[in-house]
Amino acid sequence: MSEISLPENLSYTDEHEWVAVEPGAALPADPVRVGITAVAVDNLGDLVYLELPTVGSTVTLGEACGEVESTKTVSELYPPVAGTVSIVNTAVVDDPELVSKDPYGEGWLFAVLPSEAGELLTAAEYAEKNGVDA
Amino acid sequence: MSFATPLENEHHSLGASFTDFAGWQMPLKYDSDLTEHHAVRSVAGLFDLSHMGEIDVTGPDAARFLDHALAGEFTAVTPGRAKYSLICNEDGGVIDDLVAYRLGADQFLVVANASNAGTVFAELTERATGFDVAVTDRSQTTALIALQGPAAESILLTLVPPAEAAAVQELKYYAATTATVAEIPVLLGRTGYTGEDGFELYVPNENAVDLWRALLEPTVRAGGVPAGLACRDSLRLEAGMALYGHELSLDITPFEAGLGRVVRLNKKFVGSQALQKIADTAPARTLVGLVGTGKRAARAQYAVHDAYDPNSVIGVVTSGILSPTLGYPIALAYLDSDRSRLGSTVLVDVRGGKLPFTVVKPPFYKRS
């Protein structure tokens, strides 16, 4: 696998999600955006449906908080950070293809006011675990 | 142990993603299965189906033998015609669904699903005892390429000598003939698994690459694409066609699957005794189509519930997708027969939520 983008200013998880937390940095006081990685997009194929957590709901580490559905499969979303969902990107709910086209930009899924970080990886660590030349 | 078709390198150079299907490394898609699906419906798709099983059945008793071995009637089939049929076991359970082409008075080609090819060959061989017939497995040496879509005929005609053009144009649905395509002799069937017009071309392995390349060029020029197994599944489901392992299995009778018309009980065949016993009783479960609203697909193994009693399970989904052509969810499901009235509403358990679906008679899509 090559040419898979993994921006270095983001942190990543084993469940193929990214969170807008600088690697090694403390959790910000403001909400942070969450999305799925280009690896996930590549594996899933054409996206047809997204189920995202509702604004105000609590997301807990290790508990599925939503679903990403492609033509063939449904994958669960796990929050990279625990906390309260402050905003949901309704644009991707209306057009899941935005996630495929721009997973780190316009394809962000939701933002969380973080209380606790899960196991976060750097771009390099995530790349190595997933066989990507980052 | 994994098999590769003779076209493996073609698929690699076209950038295909591969999947294992019945022990074969097959192209799942080349780019996007949605793009390929839409291309087949609007122009054409070119499929490598060389994983399928091909079994020659030849001899003076060939037709009588197939009458005995399969559920359909083959003595009545005219040479040059093909028939969709089932091979059953003694209990009337379905071992495979297949297509048998009558190539001559004493010659048939039986095409079985990749996952059942070995079993079908073993069963046919065993059932041939006492018949003057030779059953030969050609699966490993035969390649199968399918060209499916409204432009299939015009694409094919660019590769056929003028003297053969009329034969191709006049070839009826479920008929077959020998033809010369790009100077390669092929068995050409007007058969397919997409619900579109199209052709299936059978050649020995050594001609597969040349045939594929020859077909791909005019296909792409016409706006078509190479197409993989992912869109093959979404296309056949829209067309309401069964997939063995989903709608058909050893535990499902032809009557439950709505394939009673394929079963000819006026003759004796393997399984006819068991099927005769149940033929006059309505089956306990029935295969139906389901259509939904919204964008969430009901998928295989999702439970189906009574709309008025959401805890009671009345059936199970066997295949389902968000239909690319239609834009809404479609599925095939087995429901308790007394709950399978057309037009009724059922609830499907979709990832924890119970979504309403309407019972319909497949197909969901019909070509114009």
Give the model confidence (pLDDT) of B322-353 as tens digits: 999 999 999 999 999 999 999 999 999 999 89
Find the CB nearest A45 among B32, B322, B351.
B32
- SS3 state of residue B76: coil
Interface test mutation site (partner B, options A50, A54, A70, A72, max chain B beta carbons within 10 A):
A72
Domain limits, chain B: 1-279, 284-360
pLDDT, tens digit (0-9, with 9 covering 90-100), for B16-51 = 999 999 999 999 999 899 999 999 999 999 999 999
Q: Between A and B, how many residue pairs show a Cβ–Cβ distance under 8 A?
A: 29
Cβ-based interface (< 8 Å): residues of B facing A:
29, 32-34, 230, 234, 295-297, 299, 321-322, 324, 351
Q: Which chain B residues touch A51 with a CB distance below 8 Å?
A: 351
Strand partners, B357: B292, B346
For residue A65, count CB atoms less than 10 angstroms from its CB and return exposed for 0-12, middle for 13-18, buried for 19 or more. buried
User: CB distance A69–B34 less than 8 Å?
Assistant: no
- Over residues B87-116, the mean pLDDT reads 97
The confidence score (pLDDT) of residue A1 equals 43
Q: Determine the pLDDT at residue A73.
A: 86
Of the listed ranges A115-119, B10-14, B68-72, the one predicted with least confidence: A115-119
pLDDT in the model for residue B1: 67
The confidence score (pLDDT) of residue B2 equals 83
Residues B152-165 have a mean pLDDT of 98
The alpha carbon of residue B296 is apart from the nearest alpha carbon of chain A, in Å, by 7
B1-279 and B284-360 share one fold: no
What is the fold of B284-360?
Answer: Elongation Factor Tu (Ef-tu); domain 3 (2.40.30)
Q: Do residues B275 and B259 make contact, with C-beta atoms less than 8 angstroms apart?
A: no
Q: Show contacts of B333-338: CB within 8 Å, 24+ apart.
A: B333/B287, B333/B288, B333/B289, B333/B290, B333/B298, B333/B304, B334/B252, B334/B256, B334/B285, B334/B286, B334/B287, B334/B288, B335/B285, B335/B286, B335/B288, B335/B304, B335/B359, B336/B284, B336/B285, B337/B282, B337/B283, B337/B284, B337/B285, B337/B286
Asked if A48 lies within 8 A of B295 by C-beta distance, the reply is yes
Q: Which of A7, A2, A31 is nearest to A18 (CA)?
A: A7
pLDDT at A134: 53
Distance from CA of A49 to the nearest CA of B (A): 6
Question: Measured between beta carbons, which residues in chain A are less than 8 angstroms from residue B32?
Answer: 45-46
User: Tell me: the pLDDT tens digits for A26-64?
Assistant: 999 999 999 999 999 998 989 999 999 999 999 999 999
CATH of domain B1-279: 3.30.1360.120
**All domains of chain A, ordered by start, with CATH?**
27-117 (2.40.50.100)
Mean pLDDT over the full length of chain A: 93
